[in-house]
Amino acid sequence: MAIKDIFLPLVGEPDTAAITAIEKCVVAASILGAQISAVAVEENIPIRPKVMISDDLDNTIAAEAMRSVSDAHGLLKAFDIAAIRFGVRNEQTLIKLAAADIPGNFAVCARIRDLSIVPVKTDDGQSEKIVERLIFESGRPILMCPEEFADELSAVFDNVVVAWDHTAPAARAVADALPILQSAGTVRIITATDDKTPAELVAGAALARHLAEHGVKATFETLTIDGSSVGKAFEAYVKANTIDLLIMGAYRHSRLNETMWGGATKTVIGRPPCWVLMSH
């Protein structure tokens, strides 16, 4: 199925990195030929003002503190400028929510979109909560845009890698990413392992044959972990091969297990090394 309807959740401050990421998300939507619906959230943080007879100084400070929590108008302005510049069909919505309600609201909004594109801050708790709720509750794939590397990212997904472990989440990610894979110039399949078992080799080759039936020419190789974590191995591979997009299944192990002990999904969500498409 073609990607024609994209959801873009926006929260936080319109700093340089955020604005660059928003622009890259809009450009990616333009290249995919999709409409993009942006929802910006103003965090509703209750602050009880202290009324002062003098200059009401405490009220002024409280108001400034509330405004500094998030600048939804600034985020939408950056989105609007990018949408006009690149001629992308779009919708814009501004809502006010308590911080705890933001991830769940985004998940509901994403259910009637083909894909969510999510600007992700590095090692940021709110970003991780938003991504996780989208993964588990939207029923749709997500595409993460790392704000840290936004200025270096290509919005054309020409050099793509699929992280393959023959699990249901990985299979879902491949299916969801098929339109992107079909337009990519280079597609690689990697399995992170130190053993190279016959079953892993057979599974990788089988995926390559499956993709060939859809017009995607893909190569398969194994990626040695060598004492590192799988997530770190993916990061090193992405950098060494100038990968535009990493496709992977989310949470092969339980979310609790990964939260306690770490795992590939947690590592990648915390610091995406490039554009990352995830499905569960």
- Alpha carbon distance 12, 41 (integer Å): 8
For residue 50, pLDDT over 70 is answered with no
- Alpha carbon distance 259, 237 (integer Å): 24
Pairwise pLDDT comparison (45 vs 87), residue with the higher score: 87
For residue 58, pLDDT over 60 is answered with no
For residue 262, pLDDT over 50 is answered with no
For residue 264, pLDDT over 90 is answered with no
Amino acid making up residue 219? T
Q: What pLDDT was estimated at residue 226?
A: 84
For residue 3, pLDDT over 80 is answered with yes
Q: What pLDDT was estimated at residue 228?
A: 83
Q: What pLDDT was estimated at residue 253?
A: 53
Parallel, antiparallel, or unpaired: how do β-strands 142-146 and 275-279 relate?
antiparallel
Beta bridge partners of 95: 41
Q: What pLDDT was estimated at residue 68?
A: 42
Mean pLDDT computed over every residue of the chain: 90
CA pseudo-torsion sign 261, 263, 268, 273: positive
Q: What pLDDT was estimated at residue 259?
A: 42
For residue 60, pLDDT over 90 is answered with no
- Alpha carbon distance 121, 234 (integer Å): 19
Q: What pLDDT was estimated at residue 77?
A: 97
For residue 200, pLDDT over 80 is answered with yes
Mean pLDDT of 177-194: 96
Where do the DSSP E strands lie in the chain?
Answer: 5-11, 35-43, 90-97, 115-120, 142-146, 159-163, 186-192, 218-223, 245-249, 275-279
Q: What pLDDT was estimated at residue 66?
A: 47
For residue 153, pLDDT over 80 is answered with yes
Can you spell out the DSSP letters for 115-150?
EEEEEE-TT-HHHHHHHHHHHHHSSS-EEEEEGGGG
DSSP 246: E
Domains of the chain: 5-151 (3.40.50.620), 156-279 (3.40.50.620)
**What is the H or E stretch that residue 279 is in?**
strand 275-279
The first and second tokens of residue 21, run together, are: 């990421």
For residue 252, pLDDT over 70 is answered with no
- Cβ atoms of 215 and 183 within 8 Å: the answer is no
For residue 207, pLDDT over 80 is answered with yes
DSSP 235: H
For residue 53, pLDDT over 80 is answered with no
